[in-house]
Amino acid sequence: MRATIMEVDTDKFKENIKKIKAYVGNKKLMPVIKANAYGTYINKQLDIINEFDIVAVAIVDEAVSLRNQGFKNEIFILNQPYIDELDDIIKYDITIGLSDETFLEKILEKKEKIKVHLELETGMNRTGIKLDNLSNFIAKIKKNPNIIVEGVYTHLSSADYDEPYTNKQLEIFKEGVQIVKSNFDTIKYIHSSASNGLMNYNDNVSNMVRPGIIMYGYESFEGALDKINVEPICKLKTKITFIKEVSENESISYSRKYITNKKMIVATIPIGYADGLRRELSNKGAVIVNGKKAPILGSICMDSCMIDVTDIEDVRVGCDAYIWDNRVQTIEDIAGECNTINYEILSIVSNRVPRVFK
């Protein structure tokens, strides 16, 4: 195993799920485990995901992977799939989000049963059926009795900050749900809310929510943890592999972007941008060694980077160096340094970093 690993606390994940269930009451959970469960690889833990009757992923390949590892419960594809993926959708018994006319025309030709949730366009303007086309879309679906409409859903674009716009989306959704329900008696699932929505809104129509990043213990918006006190389940860490003394006026790393202004103790750690350590942190980020911040020196390399441990006591080869430890430094701190969001920092940790579950 590499010195660089991501520690994943499955007990904390289970506790987070309990807290979310308590918050949403009688609404069902459809955990979003796309992108390798936001980089945590919880989706690889069959004993954990088997607890859910239905899970959501983003693409067909993710669903096929779940089937191949033995997951037998319902799998829902959040995004409109591609026509060439239809055979796998049927073969692996995958439920899909449906909103595209061209895709619908293709499945109208099929004799096998296909389970779908109709996606309504309410203001995200990504994918979805517009309300003024919904009746026509439904009429086409009814041409093939093998298309089983089991759900209806939408995506809230701004549930973290824009209440008037979100309420407008929910009104459109409510109207669309009534149209769908009046045409099908097979509706099992109605869902509009991901992490932001489930904490900030109750649409009085949905019977299911789609928790995402909050399951893993990270805020989907500032202040989210005041509503549901979930805990971060991941720590990204590596170990010091080399320590050296560097004189004044020496350069560190590629392109000589850092020049020492004094004699320094510099350590090398085996994590780089190919592992998911963003190059934006070059010369401005830090890692945690012995509970203190050790600044990153110079350009982050593909597989390693250098850190300043001059003022940190008891540093030696083999010491842990945390990229985030959820205490001295959080994912949110790193996201701020990189001018991005915590979702990206978590999900881009590469597959060559082993996940260690405890």
- The DSSP bridge partners found for residue 30 are none
Residue 223's alpha-carbon distances to 160, 214, 340, in angstroms, are: 10, 12, 17
Strand 264-269 to 242-246 pairing: antiparallel
Given 113, 168, 244, 254, the catalytic residue:
254
For helices 134-141 and 163-183, the axis angle rounded to 10 degrees is: 30
> Which contacts of 221-227 are long-range, i.e. CB under 8 A and separated by 24 or more positions?
221/160, 221/161, 221/196, 224/195, 224/196, 224/199, 227/23, 227/199
Residue 201 falls in the annotated catalytic set: no
DSSP-assigned states of every residue in 305-347: EEEE-TT-TT--TT-EEEEE-SSSS-HHHHHHHTTS-HHHHHH
Estimate to the nearest angstrom the gap between the alpha carbon of 187 and the chain centroid.
27
Single out the residue of 100, 132, 99 nearest to residue 118, CA to CA. 99
Residue 254 falls in the annotated catalytic set: yes
Which residues are catalytically annotated? Answer: 34, 254
